[in-house]
């Protein structure tokens, strides 16, 4: 990487293991924490605002909440190529600013169509910041510690999306919706200011010259992206239907279940951050997919509160190991000048899963009951596992760009 980032060569012993937690890496992590906390503030605020202030229906709520996924999906691959050409810092700064400006629009959105337009702009900021930050996490990590780096970096997402809703609801209840938007804007501005302190993280001119041109999806990111799609499809259904399924089972709510799930993810990704590097990303990904499929199957087949807790815990273990390992596979053997494009391609499948997963599994819930939803999700995850095994994903050099 030109100007700033020199990836360390693999070390020969634990004593000379290259350092991961550098100032730049920690700056990216804190910027991510601020950004994802801002995202979390919006999670409870938007549905309540559409229903209460704008008088919108459930359909309107779905359109507003999901609108950002449309623009984010379209732009992520392009954002990845831009990150390779202009640097990761530029994407993080621009994405944070665009995101903040879009939420300023929420202050003046007096109708559902206007708010949908602002949410599309929010998706632009999401695509730029997310892809830039993800590529920066990889650039700033020694090659043999990338799985650990992505594990630590993902904690910012889970902590932010966990704390943000509490902040949002507290602010709304005490000061109203405008105050919640302002808090989210302020957090996004903090993320932007922190990003300004980073090095450019731009590939060298030779790396840029060697990178492919005019390509929407990078081939090396497609297979990991499809496996990601299958797994997040199952997770999206889990997060959507567990609150209702818990009531079906006679429980008072799903707070403890979802809290336990999140706690397991955070614990494994902090205490066990180095597992993908020690076990190997390909092996860890397969183990993670087995656990995720088994966990969802337990939730659906063992229709008791105990089954829900046990299944959610097993599923949480799988999800905790899965994402850092998968993104490590996606960028292995990929030149620095193409990492952003690969990250953009792989992460674009997140938007597909989060947008389509709950809707399709909702059809299953209507025909086979909510327990069947989790079994169906398990089958989808198992299909991702079968694809990963059949293609030996991560066990050999990932395919590079062609043509």
Q: Show me where the domains of the chain are located.
A: 23-202, 219-390
pLDDT of residue 155: 83
For 65, other C-beta atoms within 10 Å of its C-beta total 16
Give per-residue burial for 359-375: e unless 16+ CB within 10 Å, then b: eebeebbeeeebbbbbb
Q: Mean pLDDT over residues 305-334, rounded? A: 90
pLDDT digits (tens, 9 = 90+) for 29-56: 999 999 989 988 887 788 788 878 888 8
DSSP-assigned beta bridge partners for residue 2: 202
Find the range with the poorest average confidence among 2-6, 151-155, 245-249. 2-6
Tracing tokens 């089972």 back to the chain, one arrives at: 249
Q: Is the per-residue pLDDT at 13 higher than 60?
A: no
CA 342 to chain centre: 15
Structure tokens at 52: 């209460």
Tell me what percent of the residues of the chain surpass a pLDDT of 90.
33
> Is residue 72 scored above 70 in pLDDT?
yes
Q: Which two tokens stand for residue 213?
A: 């041109």
pLDDT at 400: 42
Phi, psi of 111 (to 5 degrees): -150, 160
pLDDT digits (tens, 9 = 90+) for 270-282: 888 888 888 989 9
Q: Of 274, 80, 42, 286, which is closest to residue 166 (Cα–Cα)?
A: 42
Across the range 306-314, mean pLDDT stands at 95
CA 25, CA 341: separation in Å to the nearest integer?
A: 20
Spatial neighbors of 279 by CB under 8 A, at least 6 apart, are: 287
Residues 23-202, CATH architecture: Up-down Bundle (1.20)
In this chain, the answer to whether the domains covering 23-202 and 219-390 adopt an identical fold is yes
Q: What does the pLDDT look like over 88-98, one tens digit per residue? A: 899 999 999 99
SS3 of the chain? CECCCCCCCCCCCCCCCCCCCCHHHHHHHHHHHHHHHHHHHHHHHHHHHHHHCCCCCHHHHHHHHHHHHHHHHHHHHHHHHHHHHHCHHHHHHHHHHHHHHHHHHHCCCCCHHHHHHHHHHHHHHHHHHHHHHHHHHHHCCCHHHHHHHHHHHHHHHHHHHHHHHHHHHHHHHHHCHHHHHHHHHHHHHHHHHHHHCCCCCECCHHHHHHCCCCCCCCHHHHHHHHHHHHHHHHHHHHHHHHHHHHHHCCCCCCHHHHHHHHHHHHHHHHHCCCHHHHHCHHHHHHHHHHHHHHHHHHHHHCCCHHHHHHHHHHHHHHHHHHHHHHHHHHHCCCCHHHHHHHHHHHHHHHHHHHHHHHHHHHHHHHHHCHHHHHHHHHHHHHHHHHHHHHCCCCCCCCCCCCC
- ∠ Cα 292 298 300 (to 5°): 105
- The angle that helices 88-106 and 177-196 make with each other, rounded to 10 degrees, is 170
| pLDDT greater than 90 at residue 84 | no
Long-range contacts at 305-312 (CB < 8 A, ≥ 24 apart) = 305/246, 305/249, 305/250, 305/251, 308/242, 308/245, 308/246, 308/249, 308/251, 308/257, 309/256, 309/257, 309/260, 311/374, 312/238, 312/242, 312/257, 312/258, 312/260, 312/261
The predicted structure's pLDDT at residue 102: 96
Q: What is the CATH number of domain 219-390?
A: 1.20.1250.20
Q: Could you tell me which of 185, 68, 74 has the C-alpha nearest to residue 123?
A: 68
Q: Is the pLDDT of residue 215 over 80?
A: no
**What's the pTM?**
0.73
pLDDT category of residue 205 using cuts at 50, 70 and 90:
low
Of 130, 127, 139, the closest CA to residue 207 belongs to 139
pLDDT in tens, 331-356: 887 777 777 788 788 888 887 887 77
Higher-pLDDT residue of 4 and 374 is 374
């Amino acid at each position: 990487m030109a100007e700033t980032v020199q990836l360390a060569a693999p070390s020969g012993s634990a004593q000379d293991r290259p350092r991961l937690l550098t100032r730049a890496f920690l700056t990216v992590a804190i910027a991510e924490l601020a950004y994802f906390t801002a995202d979390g503030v919006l999670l409870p605020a938007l549905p309540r605002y559409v229903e209460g202030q704008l008088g919108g229906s459930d359909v309107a709520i779905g359109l507003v909440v999901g609108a950002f996924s449309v623009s984010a999906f379209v732009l992520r691959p392009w954002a990845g190529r831009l990150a390779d050409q202009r640097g990761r810092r530029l994407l993080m700064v621009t994405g944070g600013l665009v995101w903040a400006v879009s939420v300023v629009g929420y202050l003046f959105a007096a109708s559902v169509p206007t708010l949908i337009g602002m949410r599309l702009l929010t998706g632009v900021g999401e695509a730029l910041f997310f892809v830039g930050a993800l590529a920066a996490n990889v650039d700033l990590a020694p090659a043999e510690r990338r799985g650990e780096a992505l594990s630590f970096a993902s904690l910012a997402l889970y902590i932010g999306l966990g704390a943000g809703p509490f902040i949002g609801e507290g602010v709304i209840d005490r000061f109203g919706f405008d105050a919640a938007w302002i808090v989210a804007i302020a957090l996004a501005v903090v993320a932007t200011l922190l990003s300004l302190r980073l090095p450019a993280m731009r590939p060298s001119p030779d790396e840029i010259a060697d990178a492919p041109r005019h390509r929407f999806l990078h081939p090396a990111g497609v297979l990991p992206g499809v496996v990601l799609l299958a797994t997040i499809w199952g997770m999206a259904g889990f997060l959507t239907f567990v609150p209702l399924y818990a009531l079906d089972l006679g429980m008072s709510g799903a707070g403890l279940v979802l809290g336990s799930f999140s706690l397991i993810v955070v614990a494994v990704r902090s205490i066990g951050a180095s597992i993908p590097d020690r076990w190997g990303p390909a092996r860890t990904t397969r183990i993670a997919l087995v656990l995720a499929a088994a966990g969802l199957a337990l939730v659906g087949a063992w229709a008791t509160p105990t089954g829900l807790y046990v299944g959610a815990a097993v599923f949480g273990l799988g999800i905790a190991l899965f994402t850092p390992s998968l993104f490590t596979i996606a960028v292995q053997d990929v030149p620095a000048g193409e990492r952003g494009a690969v990250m953009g391609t792989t992460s674009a499948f997140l938007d597909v899963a989060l947008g389509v997963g709950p809707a399709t599994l909702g059809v299953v819930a209507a025909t086979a009951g909510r327990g069947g939803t989790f079994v169906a999700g398990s089958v989808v995850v198992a299909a991702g596992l079968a694809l990963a095994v059949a293609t030996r994903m991560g066990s050999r050099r990932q395919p590079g760009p062609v043509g």
